[in-house]
Structure 1
Amino acid sequence: MIADPEGFGLDNLPYGVYSVGSAAPRVGVRLGDAVVDVAAVLDDDVFAAPSLNPFLAQGPARWAEVRARLTDLLAGHVPASARHPVGSVALHLPFEVADYVDFYASEHHATNLGRLFRPDSEPLMPNWKHLPVGYHGRAGTVVVSGTEIVRPCGQRRAPADDAPTYGPSARLDIEAEFGFVVGAGSRLGERIGVDAFADHVFGAVLVNDWSARDLQAWEYVPLGPHLGKSFATSVSPWVVPLAALHDARVPLPAQDPEPLPYLRGREPWGLDVEMVVEWNGEEVSRPPYREMYWSPAQMLAHLTVNGASARTGDLFASGTVSGPQRHQRGAFIELTWGGREPVTVAGEERTFLLDGDEVTISATAPGAGGGRISFGAVTGTVRPAR
């Protein structure tokens, strides 16, 4: 197995969509510091498309066949005409997002927010350890890394106010998350069991679920997140295949009470993914995905247990990834404890995001042969409200 110091060796081979100059976007794989044109090396027009969706729809047997062929071919000589320096290409949204669901799968994050939002009550709601809580997001505002984020406006009511006011969010936040891309869908009325996860999910991306905490606080009772979340969700440009994550599997944390039968699998697993959050170029957090209470397979099983169909291009995300320590918190509302405990960023005390701020989330996981694979990064810069 060829190792790569950047985490983009043959044990990874993540897929993306790229373009060179004015040429139409097409599918590539990342190998080291280059993007390799898949249609050219495989002589297959399905990869000349401007999204991964046609390939994703072909299903797991085809995914495995293509990965095996690419691994063999790229271990040898790659024609210069099919290889582009990664710095010379534009990267696009890698798949057409059909539906978007965001979960709330970290016990540490849910407990912290419960203590912040409901200080006089139990931090976890009674249902939290019985099912993966989630909400249905807005697929049309999922954007690729590098897309600027316009500060959202909406209603908010400060604790001292008698009535709501309208204006730009003053408590703009991030959520460092891990997302999963559905390739092969399911029919309406059918369920996807936890042990059928790999038959449907193609791979994983990094997610930043931008959050306007003041808008969210005013609107979320009784129906949950809406405008405080729907203005933008950023994803990384590279989709790491599920097949590349075999060596990253770890046991889930203990689940007590035992989940209902439809959420139990033969061998429940999580993923040992180490995330890094940078605020204006300075590292402020290292959220560990291995701490997540609910597994990716449990999330998908719950998403479809009522018969809801899954479609090619569906994206479902984990919710904020947080660990037990302060430096492992994946949202700034946690990191600054609701703004009461500022952090120092580039010599300045900060709580929530200011216009001009840039946030980058990156991640790596164990790969084959003791190395590590990279997910790349998802970056966004905040621009003033319009």
Structure 2
Amino acid sequence: MGTPLPKTLLVIPVYNHAATLRAVTLNGLAEGFPVLVFDDGSTDGGLDTVVDLPVARHRFPSNRGKGAAILAAAELAKRSGYDAIVTIDADGQHDPADAHRLLETVAASWPAVAIGARRMEDANAPRSSVFGRDFSNFWVRLECGHALPDSQSGYRLYPVDFLLSGRFLSSGFPFEVEVLVRAAWAGLPLLSVPVPVHYPPAGERVSHFDPFLDNLRLSCLHAWLVIRSLLPWPHPRRSPKEEASPKTTEILHPVRFFRRLSREHSGAGELAAAVWVGIFLGALPIIPFGIATIVYVSHRLHLNKLAGVAASNVCCAPFVPLACVEAGHFLLHGRFLFAFDRHVLLDEIHLRLWEWLLGSLLIGPILGFAGALLTYIAVRSVRANRSPDAQPAGS
């Protein structure tokens, strides 16, 4: 006898997708799912297109955002006795038949979140969407340590109890990123299932994404999530599963422990980010606590600790600290500092430390970006040359 599947409601959040809503709803019903169509304040009468279908319907009087619609749908699902909801976009990008695969994926590790990872390379996906997905994946991995293939897909299965017990900052587009990070912090498994996706031609696609406002909201959210991930107090746990930790015997075995440290989080992007963190923190005037700070930040952001500590050596005295002091002095006084006598270096050390700090906030990120870029290019180049599929030059 197999593991029982959670009782699931198919939720279709809709906002001005009247042209495609009915077909998506019919396909969901054909797969045997109970369906809730949740209208987030549409102005095109989309809800009227499914009024004759055996589905539950709910509507916000005005647009409140996709996140708000999903949370309200979870509340309705809870009242009706459902354990999970599957959200599917109303624009026809996804096939409701794949919802069965999401359910099967979580069966062995319930409660869990399952994501329908879009195979965008096989579809006519806009380049901006592919870049947005990869950019979001990078930040989500920093914030919660999960390397997800598609953190922006709207095709998901959520445990209802988790949605209703969580506290979320976002109610619109960024909600779907935030909910994944908070689910990981809560100890829920994040599972991915590759699914096909359909992108209509550019002239037929309906999108409500605002390139400026939504990217600004997403940037603010990521900034807060990174800050929160660096804070030492623990996150509320919603799952009894504990995170795996290195065995004590491994820690006590220096060679084995060093080997594990060198191999963890060793993707090109991860190593580049570790180098940036190491150089930026290494440029700050925190010499007695520099290595400890780099190790702590690298651990919290799931970066390679050895790469971060090694990169910080770029900032060893005297060159980078002197450059930071000069930059800070110039920012404060509009001229460089040329005198380095006892009075300047010792009697005015508090001024030099302030200039060092100010200058490091300029020099550190720039130098870190250069080091990260070189690291990324070098790692990608070395691994491409080592790939068994690589062909000799001129072949």
With the length of structure 2 as denominator, give the TM-score of the two structures. 0.28
Higher-strand-fraction structure: 1
Higher relative contact order (CA closer than 8 Å, sequence separation 6+): 1
